[in-house]
Copies of this chain bind each other. A is one copy, B any other.
Amino acid sequence: MTADTPASSDGPLVAELSEDALLARIFPLLPVGAGTHVPPGDDAAVVAAPDGRFVVTTDVLVEDRHFRRAWSSGEDVGRRAAVQNLADVAAMGARPTSLVVALVVPADLPVSWVEGLARGLAAECAQLQVGVVGGDLSGGPVVVVSVTAHGDLAGRAPVLRSGARPGDVVAHAGVAGRSAAGLALLEAGRRELDTVLVDAHLRPVSPLDAGPAAADAGATAMLDVSDGLLRDAGRIARASGVRIDLDADAFTVDRDRLRSVADELGAVAERWVLDGGEDHGLLATFPAGSTLPVPFRAVGRVGEGAGVTVDGVAAPARSGWDHFGG
């Protein structure tokens, strides 16, 4: 489907403003950040890296591929673009410090949509004292939001995917399956059936504080669950040379809610939980006997071998989410 092109009630379109005028509307909406030495407006920004290292990650959202303007407001897309990048920073055990945004916009996009995007970025960043410290703007055929986020490890060793050891506890923080269920509701045109799930897709919430907390608690491996529990557990298994054994019963928080929606849509709730992406929870492993930091819950164990099991049954290998093919 193509995106709606809203009418004049949305105010001017980006083509009706100069780039300077558009930037003048956006910049005041963006937080400077607690650790920003030189804010946007020069050739580059300067950001504090008290640790002497910085964490950096980049993720891009493309209209009609990662979101649809008919379903997502500019603010939704801004929030999601921020969260998916901040979650990658947190998954290293770092606290986010700053991000930059490159934005491609079609000429017929309402300026209000771009302002919404800025407000969405700001809403996720301001509470964490994360600065939006730079950006670039270009025209193009569809909206592209490319975010690069940075974080500070505060002396911690980064928590990689490769450190899980047999005997470790597998733990999860955040939700699982809500985003996939929300997407299914949108695709079915049934968003009214459970707006909480739809919101979880449009504006995912990641337990960002849990990242540094996990590092402090001795997490041996960690990642942001962006492509589904099984796929992402498989990544830890591969990188660490171990087997990840998950307990399906550990993911019962939303079971009734998801099953109720799945029944309506003729879908399978368990697939949303195990294969659904974009919930941006954190999956981590801890030495046996660790006190798990809130809100982590034990969801399995690390064993010798390879691959991922659910309730003792080997899960079929899943490749990464594929942007081009099947």
A interface with B by C-beta (< 8 Å): 14-20, 22, 37-38, 41-62, 65-66, 88-89, 91-92, 94, 98, 100-104, 107, 133-142, 144, 146, 148-151, 153, 158, 160-162, 222-224, 239, 319-325
Report the nearest B residue to A160, measured CB to CB: B42
- Report Cα–Cα, A136/B162, bound state, in Å: 20
Asked, given contacts A56-B98, A138-B66, A324-B18, whether A88 binds B43 with beta carbons under 8 Å apart, the answer is yes
Given contacts A38-B158, A141-B142, contact A52 B56 (CB under 8 A): no
With a CB–CB cut-off of 8 A, which chain B residues contact A60?
A: 102-104, 136, 138, 144, 146
Identical copies in the complex: 2
A133 to B243 alpha-carbon distance, docked (Å) = 28
A324 and B224 contacting across the interface, CB-CB below 8 Å: no
Does A45 lie within 8 Å of B37, measured CB to CB? no
Min CB distance A151 to B, Å, is 7
Say yes or no: A140 contacts B144, CB within 8 Å. yes
In the bound assembly, the distance between CA atoms of A66 and B138 in angstroms comes to 9
What's the Cα separation between A49 and B142 when bound, in Å?
A: 35
Contact B91 A44, beta carbon cutoff 8 Å: yes
A38 cross-chain contacts in B, Cβ below 8 A: 92, 158, 160
